[in-house]
Amino acid sequence: MTMTDPTSRFFEELGGRGHELLLAKAVGTVRFDLADGRRTDRWLVSLDKGDVTVSHGNAAADCVVRTDRVLFDRVVAGRVNVLAALLRGVVTVEGNVELVVLFQRLFPGPPRDRGSGRAAGSAARSS
């Protein structure tokens, strides 16, 4: 793992923000357990009404999100929606699911389709 991978970049940038308005109502801790072969990388995010701190660790948390590292790289790149992945069973959540619902606001949306100006996968409106 290098510090330039999408997941590390996401958590480092999130920790550097200090305060995140999109999480003004969130209080609790979320631990992300990301499996990479036999290794599990853990990120612990503490939320206190918008104040965000990020660290590595296997500490107890109000919510634990488990998935594959490659899939999570796709989540933080905006290519996979974490809630859709949860419904498909490729992401599991234990504990306070509301924290994941709030936290997902921080993940980027889908990449734009360069050809049409619409988001990738969006349907054209019929008149």
- CATH code at 67? 3.30.1050.10
Confidence of residue 21 (pLDDT cuts 50, 70, 90): very high
56 beta partners: 43
* Mean pLDDT (whole number) for 3-32: 92
According to the model, what pLDDT value does residue 121 have?
Answer: 43
Count how many domains the chain has: 1
Confidence of residue 120 (pLDDT cuts 50, 70, 90): very low
Burial of 18 per CB tally in 10 Å (0-12, 13-18, 19+): exposed
Q: Is 45 domain-assigned? A: yes
User: Domain residues for 69?
Assistant: 6-106
Q: What is the pTM of this model?
A: 0.83
For residue 16, the one-letter residue type is G
Task: Give the HSE-up count for residue 14: Cα atoms under 13 Å, Cβ half-sphere.
Answer: 25
Confidence of residue 23 (pLDDT cuts 50, 70, 90): very high
